[in-house]
């Protein structure tokens, strides 16, 4: 590898290392704080909602959901499916219930999706799993008033892949009303040569077929009525910001209902952590979208 290639690889790896761009704390500390924040939010959610854990949506060990059901019932029950991040190789549904903290008291069901992270799971499997989890949720909760998706980082990528699903291959066609894609990656090609791909072992072919930016025609076919919010943190890396901006412009050009939220004073991690707060800008947007404000 030439000196120029080494420099280029180093720069690309830095761009795709979100913890190096936080202004709040060191790279190691921001990740530790992130896991702690998600865990404590999820513990709080379990005290505020009736929690059903490990509901299977498939045969695999990781193909399970945690469901946070509001204690008070109302006829208008929206449901939010949350897909966790962690670069397709960390985190789990166990610390992914935090959005229920502001949502359950408003009568919203929150579903946290488990999937087979790398190296056990590959990209094709993970995409298939999250699609099946959505189909299973819709079949299980047919009485809900509206279905919404939220994904963070790698989870935003997976949520975008859900929006780009050909549902004719499934026994159900979910009508997703809204989707929040937070600090996501929508083109997998740039990460092929980085450390992120070490456990994923994606080939170029796998990366292309699992890149939401390549599937706009399918998104238009299956999610044309969905309100899509692409959110990015002020202190996300330039490459992460570029990915979100490019995907937003592509969706806008395709005529989809999409808005872009550049969230000030946030980094890659607290942009999602703050969803535990009812007054947080993105939580308010989601509540408005669901008619809960």
The catalytically annotated residue of 34, 152, 157, 268 is 268
Write the DSSP string, 165-221: --GGGSS----EEEEEEES-----GGGTTSTTHHHH---HHHHHHT-GGG-HHHHHH
Tell me the C-alpha distance between 287 and 110, whole Å.
Answer: 13
Write the DSSP string, 30-72: HHHHHHHHHHHHHHHHHHHEEEEEEEESSSSTT-EEEEEEESS
**Sign (positive or negative) of CA dihedral 27, 240, 279, 146:** negative
Tell me the C-alpha distance between 90 and 32, whole Å.
Answer: 12
The catalytically annotated residue of 96, 153, 183, 211 is 153
76 is catalytic: no
211 is catalytic: no
Distance (Å) of CA 9 to CA 23, 182, 186, 193, 240: 23, 25, 20, 7, 16
66 is catalytic: no
The catalytically annotated residue of 34, 236, 237, 267 is 236
Provide the terminal-to-terminal Cα distance of the chain, rounded to the nearest Å: 56
The catalytic residue positions are: 153, 236, 268
């Amino acid at each position: 590898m030439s000196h120029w290639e080494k420099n280029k690889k180093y720069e690309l790896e830095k761009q795709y290392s979100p913890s190096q761009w936080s202004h709040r704390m060191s790279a190691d500390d921001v990740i530790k704080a992130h896991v702690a924040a998600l865990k404590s939010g999820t513990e709080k959610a379990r005290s505020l909602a009736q929690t059903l854990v490990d509901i299977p949506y498939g045969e695999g060990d990781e193909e399970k959901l945690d469901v946070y059901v509001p204690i008070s019932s109302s006829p208008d029950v929206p449901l939010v499916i949350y897909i966790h991040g962690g670069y397709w190789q960390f985190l789990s549904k166990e610390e992914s219930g935090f959005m229920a903290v502001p949502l359950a008291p408003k009568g919203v069901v929150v579903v946290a999706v488990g999937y087979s992270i790398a190296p056990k799971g590959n990209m094709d499997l993970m995409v298939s799993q999250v699609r099946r989890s959505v189909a299973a949720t819709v079949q299980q909760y047919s009485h809900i008033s509206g279905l919404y998706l939220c994904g963070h980082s790698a989870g935003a990528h997976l949520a975008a892949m859900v929006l780009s699903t050909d549902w004719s291959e499934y026994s159900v066609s979910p009508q997703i009303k809204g989707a929040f894609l937070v600090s996501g990656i929508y083109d997998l090609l740039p990460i092929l040569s980085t450390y992120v791909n070490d456990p994923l072992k994606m080939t170029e072919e796998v990366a292309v077929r699992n890149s939401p930016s390549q599937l706009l025609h399918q998104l238009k076919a299956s999610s044309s009525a969905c309100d899509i919010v692409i959110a990015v943190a002020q202190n996300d890396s330039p490459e992460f910001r570029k990915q979100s901006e490019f995907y937003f412009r592509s969706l806008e050009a395709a005529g989809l209902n999409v808005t872009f939220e550049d969230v000030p004073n946030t980094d890659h991690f607290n942009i999602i952590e703050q969803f535990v707060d009812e007054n947080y800008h993105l939580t308010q947007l989601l509540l408005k979208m669901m008619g809960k404000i």
